[in-house]
Structure 1
Amino acid sequence: MIDQASWSRAVHVLRQGMSTSLHCSIASVNEDGTAHVTPIGSLQITGPSTAMFFDVFGSRLSRNVDRDSRVTILAVNSSKLFWLKMFIKGRFVEYPGVRLIGTVSPKRESTPQERERFERRVKRVRRMRGYDVLWSNIGHARDIKFTTLKYVRIGRSTSHLGR
């Protein structure tokens, strides 16, 4: 179980990663046991140790989690300024990334509230051609229950950040 303080910090790191990269990565388990990593831009935190995403493109991801529900989310802060500060100071001011490990629920219909929340996040590109290409059909969703979190640690540059 993830305690509230750790979860709050992890959500902050996750949001920094998603805002600078416009996505996070989700790894699932292929049939042969190897990892399948997919970028995903629709992850939404829904509560303590829980999130959801729209199951739109990832046909391999969908097949994998239907067979084996284990996943890992990786979000990394890609801000050039964030990394420049680390190079100047020799250490990060916050963890550069986080891994969230958990299990995915079966596919379900997304709710109007989930769709509205996502549409608010991408409203700047709504009138562009690419919006319809990517997000015209966000009808299905999956929930994720996280059981473990691990911060991205990079030697001495993160050793002062604690647990």
Structure 2
Amino acid sequence: MDILADWEKIRIHFSKSFRRNLHVAIASVDAENNPTTTPVGSLFLNADQTGFYFEKFVTKLPVNATTNNKICVLGVNSNRWLWIRSLYEGRFRQYPALKLYGELGALKKASDAQIRALARRVRRTKDLKGHKYLWDDMIYVREVTFTKAEKINLGKMTRGL
């Protein structure tokens, strides 16, 4: 998969994945080379193979970035009908899962545009009590630069994608 040529397809996949799962999994490696994954519900992909996420609850990613800033992001589209239809047809018509490889960048104060993007994503929960606890004070983002994309191989089911 070519990260430049297929970037718009990648962005669409991650958007669909987020709608179903409400998060992606970001893998990193600590100073002792132990792998760990972190669920992140605020990853946004920009138009230029970069992205950002709000760094409020993540604890391992910023610590791991001090010794190794490389990450892998897994986005799985868990749409039940996608999987049932694909199992019935014997093949997927669209990617069931993708991995993005990249590097964590600087932590910085979120821009107004980034805060608006988060507000759009969580707007349906704005009247719920937990909304305030989770999203009212999201003010810092971590930038990410992506360098490689990889389709998940499920044999004959994903051949031709």
TM-score (norm 1): 0.93
With 73-82 and 123-132 compared, the bigger mean Cα shift is at 123-132
**Is it true that 1:109 corresponds to 2:121 in the alignment?**
no
8 Å contact from structure 2 (residues 28, 64) kept in 1: yes
Moved over 2 A (4+): 2-5
Q: Which amino acid aligns with 2:91?
A: R
| Counterpart in the other structure of 2:94 | 94
| Counterpart in the other structure of 1:5 | 5
Q: Structure 1 pair 80/104, CA: closer, same or farther in 2 (3 Å)?
A: same
Q: Which amino acid aligns with 1:128?
A: L
8 Å contact from structure 1 (residues 95, 153) kept in 2: no
The alpha carbon displacement at 1:152 in A equals 1.1
Cα-to-partner distance string for 1:108-139 (whole Å, 9 max, x where unaligned): 11111100111011101012111122112211
With 23-32 and 71-80 compared, the bigger mean Cα shift is at 23-32
Distance in 1, Cα, partners of 2:19 & 2:3: 24
Distance in 2, Cα, partners of 1:10 & 1:113: 21
| Counterpart in the other structure of 1:76 | 76
Bigger proportion of residues as helix: 1
| Counterpart in the other structure of 2:36 | 36
Distance in 2, Cα, partners of 1:133 & 1:67: 31
3-state secondary structure, aligned to 2:106: coil
| Counterpart in the other structure of 1:156 | 156
Q: How many pairs were matched up?
A: 160
**Is it true that 1:15 corresponds to 2:15 in the alignment?**
yes
Q: Which amino acid aligns with 1:129?
A: K
Q: Which amino acid aligns with 2:15?
A: R
Distance in 2, Cα, partners of 1:53 & 1:137: 14
The alpha carbon displacement at 1:3 in A equals 4.8
Distance in 1, Cα, partners of 2:94 & 2:77: 10
Distance in 2, Cα, partners of 1:136 & 1:63: 24
**Is it true that 1:47 corresponds to 2:50 in the alignment?**
no
Structure 1: 5+ residue runs without aligned partners? none
Q: Which amino acid aligns with 1:53?
A: Y
Distance in 1, Cα, partners of 2:52 & 2:25: 14
3-state secondary structure, aligned to 1:102: strand
Cα-to-partner distance string for 1:9-68 (whole Å, 9 max, x where unaligned): 211211111111111111111121121101111111122111110011011122112331
Q: Percent identity?
A: 27
Distance in 1, Cα, partners of 2:33 & 2:12: 31
